[in-house]
Structure 1
Amino acid sequence: MKRKNTPTPHDAVFKHFLSHVDTARDFLEIHLPATLRAVCDLDTLRLESGSFIEDNLRAHYSDILYSLKTVQGDGYVYCVIEHQSSPDKMMAFRLMRYSISAMQRHLEQGHEKLPLVIPVLFYHGKTRPYPWSTNWLDCFDVPALAKEVYSVAFPLVDVTVIPNDEILTHKRIALLEMVQKHIRQRDMAELLQELIILLTYDYYTDEQLKSVLNYLLQAGDTADPEGFIRRLAEQSPKYEEVLMTIAQKLEQKGRQEGRQEGRQEGRQEGRQEGRQEATLKIAHALLNSGIDRETVMKTTGLSENELEQIRH
């Protein structure tokens, strides 16, 4: 059962005041940093519905979300009150989480760009002044390293532009990179030489090899998958047993599919012959009843030549 949180007096009075647009406008006009206030059109301030605070935190935090226009487009101002007697060391991180939640909702509403979200912390605890940093990077053990990670573009591994010769030097990840680089670009049989080189190293478990070959067979393309696996097995002694097992299963599957296809074609032909025979019998009965040939052909869909066969 969902736990119901009882609003505190702090929460109630804050929401009562900040839910009024004019009050919120004064609050932001006074407390927003000058650089941010300069890009915000506070005359477009609008109270947004919904809350991004998790249920287990609602007894401790009160969130008010306003949207407004900025020079760059739509922006969000996000106000959070902290009314505990003990300040929250991780409050800056919580503000970041709430900001990202607001961004996510913005995207879900059909927008293509992230909005600017400005989190503002309103504090009135017993300890003063507020003792913790409101920079979320200070929540990390090494803020300088966190800044290096989160203030620049994230690392990108784009295998589509890495040369094959370089991928071959990538040790235990090389097989995955090589296969995924080329899975859409060419017949997987053209990868044979590169795969043989990679399988000369004792880098991969049998399960990893099975996984990557299953991926090749499902997502890749080749005229002769069984032959491809057998050629790979012939030149990869370390993995020959695993590869031959896969090749044998492919051969067996091919035989089963061939038999099944034959049976299916036989049943289909039988059904077609049965329907044709029944149609001819109906046409024969209609002709014997004195129905003219044109009407019989329209009714049964038979051609004149087929009606001639009935007469003989």
Structure 2
Amino acid sequence: MDASEIPLDSAAHTHDGFFKAVFSQPEHAVAFFKSHLPAEVTALVEWPSLELLPGSFVKSSLQQAHSDLLFSVRMGERETLLYLLFEHQSTPDPAMPLRLLGYMSEIHLKHHKENKLPLRPVLPFVLHQGPDRWTASTAFEDLFELEGEAREALLPFLPKFSHALLDLTRFDPSAGEEDARVRAVLQLMKLAREKELLRFFRWLSRFSAKDLSENLLRLILLYAMHSDSDLDAEKIYHNLSSNPELEKSTMSVAEKLRAEGRVEGLTEGNWIGKIQTLEEFLEKAISSNEVLEAMTLAELEALHALLHREYEVRFKRG
């Protein structure tokens, strides 16, 4: 499975969709892992071998707060799996190692069923968007209350692993991320959670237009404008005005999105695209174009406002 099989435009309207749309692309995943895995691991990985594997191990009831991607890479003569879990719920989960154990067990059982032994190592990585800082332990053994002799006696019988963690509430992408594309993505995710998107575009104005592909700019605009209903293209252009080249590139992408009904506008087609996106995210039946086209502009605006309020209550507040 490659990025071309993922519905980037509709997916990019959500936290989890933006994550998947960006990091399902191998070049972005490679840059991310190279920056944030331990050096002793990255030195052993044959990065051109990285491949996105199909499927998700997050249960449907948790998919609005968690998303995951599974990658295969070569390390020497053996295949290793990199499991990237994205968490964007309001409060960090102290039982995360237990959840990861379940996901890793599913991965191992699937492999054993299809290929028998030996199993492939699975390296779990959690990307936490916030808003609260991650204070829970990343080690599975710390989920137990073991003291003294009992701890020493029982630890050999317990699963032992830790997950890697990037907590965006503690990480400054502008200073700590080498790859320009990943730096922009992580800074956007961080400031979107902090509701500081205009500050993001002022910061982005320091980028060269050559650093950001049209596809990445497209995803950035879709995600940003859905994350903040008050954000519009003119505000974005104003905050990019110190960089005419990037402003021009962004305007070009925004015009294409507007023509497709993907961003704020006053036409029925624009409202239809926004309504169908919200219905998809809220797991409602998707209204057909025929039904929506029969509504007046005022009715479309009212329906969008109703869906957007439900989105705010369910996913953005608290």
- TM-score normalised by the chain length of structure 1: 0.44
Which protein has greater RCO, CA pairs closer than 8 Å, 6+ apart? 2
